[in-house]
Amino acid sequence: MATYVALLNWTDQGVRNIGDAPKRLDSVKKLLADMGGSTKAFYMTIGQFDMVLIYEAPDDAVAAHFTLKLSQSGNVRTQTLKAFPEQSFREILASL
């Protein structure tokens, strides 16, 4: 499975409903699992982004669908990065 890093920021709606955020996170984890993916780590952060979600998905199409479902909720805005593990990093550089 491919690894993705989602950088999340609260929307105004998300902040207004902040008390529901733990339940929403549980729902997000279940949604991802139902799509064949898995949550690897979640962090609340200080700085440019409010949260970081590291997850695995079977492919880019599933990751895109998952990201759109997150955005559709109206509680967060996302920026998603595809992450390459160290072994892939080494293989890519070795091929140059």
> For the domain that residue 24 is a member of, what is the CATH number?
3.30.70.60
Tell me the pTM.
0.92
51-81 pLDDT, tens per residue? Answer: 999 999 999 999 999 999 999 999 999 999 9
Q: What is the pLDDT of residue 55?
A: 98
Residue 17: predicted pLDDT = 94
Strand spans (E) along 1-96: 2-10, 38-44, 51-57, 76-83
Q: State the residue range of the domain holding 62.
A: 2-94
- Per the structure, the count of domains in the chain is 1
Nearest Cα residue to 64 out of 35, 21, 29:
35
Note the pLDDT of residue 66.
97
> Sorting pLDDT into bands at 50, 70 and 90, what band is 24?
very high
